[in-house]
A and B are shown apart, each in its own frame.
Chain A
Amino acid sequence: MAFAVEIEDLTVAYGDKPALWDVDLRVPQGVLMAIVGPNGAGKTTLLKATLGLIKPAAGSVRIHGQPYEQQRRLVAYVPQRSSVDWDFPTTVLDVVMMGRYGQLGWLRRPGRAEREAALAALEQVQMADFAHRQIGQLSGGQQQRVFLARALAQNAEVYFMDEPFQGVDAVTERAIIHVLRKLRAAGKTVVVVHHDLQTVPEYFDQVALINVRRIAAGPVREVFTEANLRATYGGRVALLGANGSAGAVTTPTPAPGD
């Protein structure tokens, strides 16, 4: 099997506290994978360290068989919505065009090609009508779709998304899922940090259970079991499905912050 992402021995520490311990993760090409785990389990850290936004203490990342540094062009990143200032003076179209800046190279200005790619990406997330809006005027779900469109405009092979379903409306959730499935149909790979255990079997093919260490990873049917979830969440999980993999809900737990 060809792997889109191969993470080996990834270890990240914040001061004294290890955030990720020796995580190995392989993501086959053309799948939707959820990264799941309790708050503070290092899900976002895993994403950021994979993308080189945090310097790992150890470990390596390969994208389509080559070291990540040489394959940046193949990777698109959708950060959490809260990571930017939405009062920044710029339009929806402008933000989506930023996805093309990596390919743009120095000194060249974004032109017609970038504009068209951006508009096409907005079309895919049903946001074309909003192209000339200021980004601060959007709802949370619309902001999320703009971020998704920016990643789509990159025309990458592998997509990393940090909690794209966090606090969005039902329309946006369906739109995002629709886009994810289209990406999979086109042979792309998508890795999503995800919070809602109930929707994992419905939305994703593969799942990685993370709690500082990798608990388990693989096809949802095999891996998304009560035993593994208990190992990940420390017994704070109540499973509804009789067979242990149909669905699960987290009981409210005090969140120490991610």
Chain B
Amino acid sequence: MELFTDYTLRNVTLGSMLLGAISGLLGCFAVLRRQALLGDAMSHAALPGIALAFLLTGQRDPFTLLLGAAIAALVAALWLLAIVRTSRIKDDAALALILAVFFGFGLVLLSYVQRQPTAAQAGLKSFLFGQAAALVERDLWAMLAIGGPALALIAIFWPQVKLISFDPDVARSLGLPVRRFEVLLTGVLVAAIVIGLQTVGVVLMSAMLIAPAVAARQWTNRLETMVLLAAGFGALAAFIGAWISAQGERLATGPVIVLAMSALTAISLLIAPERGLLWRRWRLMRQWQIGNGE
């Protein structure tokens, strides 16, 4: 297949799939811990970090920019938690506020960067909607270097992570350091976001965290299966997206991936056994028919 043989296409396809798998898996915890939209806020909030990292270092290499993004996202998450804890502002308003303010500040910095005479600033804007087509091998390694440790941490502390996601109060009564784990899970979410910024961009990143988890949840009742399925769905959607956008001239990869993922989710919500809406309706009709037959 051309997607894997052509050098550029291979990077795009592999990179997108890697992103889909990692963000799909890590997004499960955000969704289960009722923080689905925290990912949205943090990915928007990453923008000023990218611009600042560039302004301060003058570098466009992915590690520098993504480090800036990660720091900004973490600062945003911490401020958000502080606002909710110390004031009467509820989390929905805090999320929307942080998202818009950080992003607005990011735009201020970007517009400032764009007036710089250097050519190096070109491409910073691609973080808005992502530019999968520009992925090079170096970016893939960056994704692995960030995503690998995040996944390893989840694997090592699997029982604890599971318990804390389900019942933090009992976890605390058992003596687990729940606070530290919450910081860890937030950090891991930041890692997932940072990986996706180059490919799907800050605006659509939240879909890559939420949709695979929601889709996977419909097919299984076990957390272990759910995270693996979510990784699979994420990778599959990325593959489909990369393939479709390779066909047409003016089809940006990021939005196509998000649409493919949305379609997978919609299908899951409708037909998944036991939970799917159509499945349940079908079973109801069967029961009704059997009831009438007797």
Contacts and interface: CB of A to CB of B under 8 A. Distances in A.
Direct contact between A and B judged by beta carbons closer than 8 A: yes
Interface of A: 48, 51-53, 72-73, 75-77, 79, 83-85, 88-91, 94-95, 98-99, 101-102, 104, 106-107, 109-110, 134, 136, 150, 154
Nearest to A133: B221
A85 to B, nearest CB: 7
B222 A89 contact: yes
Interface stretch (B9-17, B97-105, B158-166, B187-195): B158-166
Interface in B187-225: 217, 220-223, 225
B160 to A, nearest CB: 7
Closest 9 A-B residue pairs measured CB to CB?
A: A102-B174, A134-B221, A77-B173, A72-B175, A89-B226, A98-B163, A89-B223, A84-B167, A51-B173
Contacts of B156: 107
A88 B166 contact: yes
Contacts of A101: 159-160, 163, 171, 174, 176
Contact of B170 (A85, A98, A104): A98
A107 B153 CA distance: 11
Contacts of A98: 159, 162-163, 166-167, 170
B169 interface: yes
Contacts of A52: 172-173
A90 B166 contact: yes
A95 B162 CA distance: 10
B173 A84 contact: no
A150 B222 CA distance: 18
A75 B172 CA distance: 12
Contacts of B160: 101, 106
Contact of B167 (A83, A91, A134): A83
Nearest to B222: A89
Given A91-B222, A99-B174, A110-B159, 10 more contacts: A51-B173, A75-B173, A77-B170, A77-B173, A79-B167, A85-B32, A98-B162, A101-B171, A102-B176, A134-B221
A154 B174 CA distance: 9
B173 A95 contact: no
10 contacts: A52-B173, A73-B175, A83-B167, A88-B166, A89-B217, A90-B222, A91-B222, A102-B175, A106-B157, A150-B170
Contacts of A73: 175
Contacts of B32: 85, 88-89
Q: Which of B159, B163, B217: most chain A CB closer than 10 A?
A: B159
Interface residues of B, number: 27
A109 B222 contact: no
Interface string B1-41: 00000000000000000000000000000001010000000
A115 B262 CA distance: 38
Interface of B: 32, 34, 156-160, 162-163, 165-167, 169-176, 217, 220-223, 225-226
A109 B159 contact: yes
Contacts of B172: 51-53
A46 B28 CA distance: 34
Contact of B173 (A53, A89, A91, A109): A53
Contacts of B163: 98, 101
Given A101-B176, A102-B174, A79 B223 contact: no
B169 A90 contact: no
A99 B165 CA distance: 14
A140 to B, nearest CB: 17
A243 to B, nearest CB: 39
B159 A53 contact: no
Contacts of A53: 169, 172-173
B166 A95 contact: yes
Contacts of B176: 101-102
Contacts of A91: 221-222
Contacts of A104: 159
A244 B225 CA distance: 57
Contacts of B170: 77, 79, 98-99, 150
Nearest to A154: B174
A88 B173 contact: no
Contacts of B223: 88-90, 94
Contacts of A90: 162, 166, 221-223
A170 to B, nearest CB: 27
A99 B157 CA distance: 16
Nearest to A108: B159
B268 to A, nearest CB: 13
Contacts of A102: 174-176
A51 B163 CA distance: 17
B169 A83 contact: yes
A16 B169 CA distance: 24
Nearest to B34: A85
B220 A89 contact: yes
A134 B220 CA distance: 9
A85 B166 contact: yes
Contacts of B162: 90, 94, 98
Nearest to B223: A89
